[in-house]
Structures are given as C-alpha cells and as structure tokens.
Amino acid sequence: MTLETRILAGVLTAAVLAGCQRETLLDVTDPDVLNVQDYTTAAGAIPLRIGVIANFTSAFDGGTDAFTVITGNMADELLASDTFDDRLTINARKSLEINTNMEGTYRSMHRARSGAARAAIVLATTAPTPTFNRGELFMLRGFTEDFFGEGWCSGVPFSSEDGVTTTYGQPLATEQVFGAAVASFDSALTLADTSKRVRFGSEIGKARALLNLGKFAEAAAAVGDVPQTFVLTTSHSPNSTTNGIWSATTSGASRYRLVSNEGSNGLPFLSQTTATEPRIPWATSTRVGFSSQFTNQPNQLKFAQYGDGIVGNGVEAALIKLEARLQGGAQADRQAVYDGLNALRASGPPVVAQMTTGAPATQDAAIDLLYRERAYWMWLTGHRLGDLRRLVRIYKRDAEKVFPTGTLTSPLVGTYGTSTSITIPFSEKNNPNFKGCLPGV
C-alpha cells in the first residue's frame, strides 16, 4: 500500500468514526408507542389524564358518527343523508350487530371508560393532588356509562385491562349500567374538592342515571345545588377534533341532515324560525347531501366547526327537578311544572316566548309537554334517544307511538323497523361472556 493510500484510508476511517460518534451524541429515543410504565410516574400522569379527556371528547361529539350524532339518528333529531347502510339502517330503526361505523363509536366509548379507570389508579399513586383531577376521571367514566345505558341495547359488558391482561366483563342489564354510573359519579363527588366543574357535572350525570332508573326524587336531590348558568362542555380545535354535530350536519356534503316530523310522530323541530324558537337555531342552505337526492340541506347554527359541545348544563338540572315534581300526579303538580317551564323560558339562556295554553289537565299530556320541552332545550346534545327509551321503559309508552314510525324517507323504502337502541356490535362476542343483547328497552 502506498503512502497516499494509507493516508486516504486513515481519513475515511476517522470520518466514519466521527460520524458514528456524532450519531450517538445526537441520537434521541422517539418511541411511537408508549408503554404502560412510561405513564406510571408523576410526569406521565398529566398526559395520561389529557389522553382520557381527548378520548371522551372524540367518542361523545368529536366525529361524524359520535354519540351525539348516532343517537340523534336513531331518534327523531337527524336523518341519514347518506348512501351507506351503516347509517341508513340506524335511521330506519333496523339496527344490526355488524355495523362498522357504529362499532367505531362503541369502541371509542369503551376506550374512554376503561382509560378513565386506569388513569384514576395511576393518579392516585403518582399525582394524588389535586384530587379533583381524579374526580374528573370518575366523572367522565360515569358519563360513558350513562351513554352506554341510553344508546346501546341491554347487555353491555364492562371489561378491563391493565396493559397486560384483559378481564372480560359480564353482560349488564340496562338498570345495572345506570347503577354503575351512579357509583362512578359518587366516586367523583368524593374527590371533587373545590372544582365546581367536577361537582356540578357529576351531580347532573348522577341525576341523569337516576332519572333513567325511575328514581325521580333522588335525581332531583342530586342536582339541588346546580346553578342554572352552569355548563359542562367538551372542547374542539383545529389541533384536535371538529364538533361532531357540525361535521355530521353542516359540513359540505354532510352524511346527516336535520329533520322535522320524522316518521309519523317525530317532533317538528324545524317548523318554526329561529326568531320564534331560539332553542332550535338553523338556517336554509343550498348544500347537497352525500346522497345527491338530498338538496337544500338545512344548517344547524347551535355548534360551530370548533365550537364547544354540551355534555350537561343547569337547564337540564332544572328540567330534572320539574320531572320529579310531575310524579306527584295531581293538578297542582302539573300546574307547578307548567309554571316552572315558563320560568325556565323566561330566564334561559336563550330566552323563549311564554306558553299561554295553560297547564295540561291530564298526566299523559303533562309528560308530553315536559318531554317536548326537554327535546327543544337539549336538541342535538345526545339526550333524545335516552328520553325516548325512558318514555317506553319507565312510563310504559308504546314504542311505536314514541319512536319514528310509518313510511321511510327515500332513498329508503318500506317502513321503519322496531329497534329502540343501537345493537352491541358482533366484535363484542370476542368476550366469552357475551352472547348478544339482553331483553329489555
């Protein structure tokens, strides 16, 4: 080897070694998947909690097929302006266990619930203060349980996993699901401390579960101190998610559309202008739906693209107390509820014109009035399906007089089916304990 060759070899070797050294010095571990142990520290508890909040928001109202959307579609708030059977069959009350879009929402809701349970355990040991952070996690878990009870058929199992082992849950009857929600909210309330958001939010969620159990007096007591001005919201931004109602009904060739008088007995949500019914803000447009036969799609104005969603509020608390009063069954109770509904209209927000018809003279008429007012106050917030199911389960109303029925809207043909809930997806049968929906509404 010549001298020139030896020099060149030495230079190349030095360059390679220097390159290796530079690579070692600049190398940064950047895992794309975080392990369980990465979160079980005080520093890891913060992103873990934030992740649960994000998962909850995504499942509740963070996408085109979020909970607020699919339950409105099963009820009488929304109509599928789509060509996909996944959405059309829900609208037609012909829910099936094989439904990709509905399965995604079901999985997301379980992800939020189980994540909240795991995160609460981690925070208890790594970041125990402030306690209301754990309270918030129990509150979110409780709301997912409310949603499972209102949205899906009886028999939802609550499985759990610790990052290594999955423990399969047993199918729970609807009443058991709401019982689990009450327990979650009770846990949240013991940890709420100074957080009014956690305290009032948990009280509303607990009352919602108790209402679904027919425990009216307990529900009213649970929200006794919730101010009418309180609102529990979800947050959306360009860095996270759009508001699901906006995505589903107001964005371009949307998959869903606002509906009025669906079937032969749906409420006339759009029959009045926003000026006369400010609780149902909407406007005409020239948009065409995903299915081109749906033209001039109406636009809802309640939720902006990145606007906050509404999980619960003080108006709902007031309505719960009025429903409890109605259980007295006397004309004095019906008059008190009628006066209370007008007082709510007067104070809002928004302020609504007074009713002048007078208090209903029968209990059935009073229930009709209360539930119409609930539907208008809580339009597009994920309450309507639970209300319709409660009318059937607790008040023993005929489902075919409560849910949309009659001739389907084109492009669907024929008549509505008989489903009153969304079917638990087939994939849940990976759980050896689960065999299918249980009887009941």
Residues 6+ apart with CB under 8 A from 315: 228, 344, 348, 377, 378
Structure tokens at 261: 């008088």
- Please tell me the number of Cα atoms within 13 Å of 380 on its side-chain side: 32
Contacts 24+ apart (CB under 8 A), 281-284: 282/258
Residues 6+ apart with CB under 8 A from 374: 319, 383, 387
Q: What are phi and psi of 426, to 5 degrees?
A: -60, -35
Residue that has been written with the tokens 């309450």 in this structure? 383
**What DSSP element (H or E) covers 171?**
strand 171-172
Per-residue burial over 203-234, b = 16 or more CB atoms within 10 Å of its CB, e = otherwise: bbbbbbbbbbbebbebbbbbbeebebebbbbb
Structure tokens at 35: 């392990």
The pTM assigned to this predicted structure is 0.91
Which candidate, 331, 321, 333, places its Cα nearest to that of 374? 321
CA distance 155 to 398: 22
Ordered structural domains, the chain, with CATH:
36-407+417-427 (1.25.40.390)
CA distance 371 to 375: 6
The angle, 0 to 180 degrees and rounded to 10, between the axes of the packed helices 363-377 and 314-326 is: 170
Pairing of strands 256-258, 78-80: antiparallel
CA distance 231 to 196: 10
Structure tokens at 164: 């290594």
Structure tokens at 295: 């033209």
CA distance 63 to 109: 12
In this structure, are residues 236 and 306 in contact, taking their beta carbons and an 8 Å threshold? yes
From first to last of the 441 residues of the chain, give the pLDDT tens digit: 443 334 334 433 444 344 444 444 455 455 555 566 677 788 888 899 999 999 999 999 999 999 999 999 999 999 999 999 999 999 999 999 999 999 999 999 999 999 999 999 999 999 999 999 999 999 999 999 999 999 999 999 999 987 678 899 999 999 999 999 999 999 999 999 999 999 999 999 999 999 999 999 999 999 999 999 999 999 999 999 999 999 999 999 999 999 999 998 999 999 876 668 999 999 999 999 999 999 999 999 999 999 999 999 999 999 999 999 999 999 999 999 999 999 999 998 999 999 999 999 999 999 999 999 999 999 999 999 999 999 999 999 999 999 999 999 877 889 999 999 999 999 999 999 999 999 999
User: What are 186's strand-pairing partners?
Assistant: none
Torsion, CA 272, CA 276, CA 277, CA 282, rounded to 10: 60
Q: What are phi and psi of 216, to 5 degrees?
A: -65, -45
